[in-house]
Structure 1
Amino acid sequence: MKRLKTAGALIALAAVFAGSATARDDGRYANSPLKPWFDSLRSAKGLCCSDADGSVVSDVDWESKDGHYRVRLEGQWIDVPDDAVITVPNRAGRTMVWPVKGATGISIRCFLPGSMI
């Protein structure tokens, strides 16, 4: 029974890391003047990583309603948790999201609203 619990725990841990393994800085933006700003971005959930980890979201794929955001990823609308919203001014000007894929689906670690013009 103990072996079964250990195996289950390892499988769950692997699923968590598999979702985050695809999100890493590959150096494409190392010389960008905004890199230090991106690296410092954080929501209440923690650091958001960097520009290479986030995804730009088109204006038609996000919206604000009743003071809350939602974003369309992979064809489905996902509510952005309030604690995932980045509250500093958007120096990049474009809407970005830092999704995390896990065993239960997609969750949002960070969301940086754009201007929606």
Structure 2
Amino acid sequence: MMMSPAPGRDLDGRYRNSPLHEWFENLASGKGLCCSYADGHAVEDADWESKAGHFRVRLPKSANSKEMVWVDVPDDAVIKVPNKVGRTMVWPVYNELYPDISIRCFMPGSMT
């Protein structure tokens, strides 16, 4: 699984001049703004799938783990606006106190 960083939260300002900066800053799912609470990551096609209108994505089991697990994407985490990036992206939130991964936002790309 390859996850690459994407312009989420932009704490160091490196994406400030990106033409998609404002779009990312305002990107939201039914759970609220995406980039304000979690870093977005691009997901390879092999690490997400759609079945019966629902999505799931393969993510590291914890923020520092190499072990991967499949996580169901809640329907209210799916972003409904057109994907300007073209790649599938996910904004996971890891809870260090409980073995729990929640999905803040999920933006499907096209499976190729």
Q: Give the TM-score normalised by the residue count of structure 2.
A: 0.79
SS in 2 for 1:36: helix
Q: Give the TM-score normalised by the residue count of structure 1.
A: 0.76
Tell me, which stretches of 5 or more residues in structure 1 are unaligned?
1-22
Name the residue aligned to 1:64.
50
Number of corresponding residues: 94
Greater per-residue strand proportion? 2
Tell me, which stretches of 5 or more residues in structure 2 are unaligned?
1-7, 61-67
Name the residue aligned to 2:63.
none
Counterpart amino acid of residue 28 in structure 1: R
Matching of residues 1-117 of structure 1 within 5 Å: 24-26=9-11, 27-49=13-35, 53-74=39-60, 75-102=68-95, 103-104=97-98, 105-117=100-112
Query: Which one has the largest radius of gyration?
Result: 1
Let me know the Cα RMSD of the aligned residues: 1.6
SS in 2 for 1:56: strand
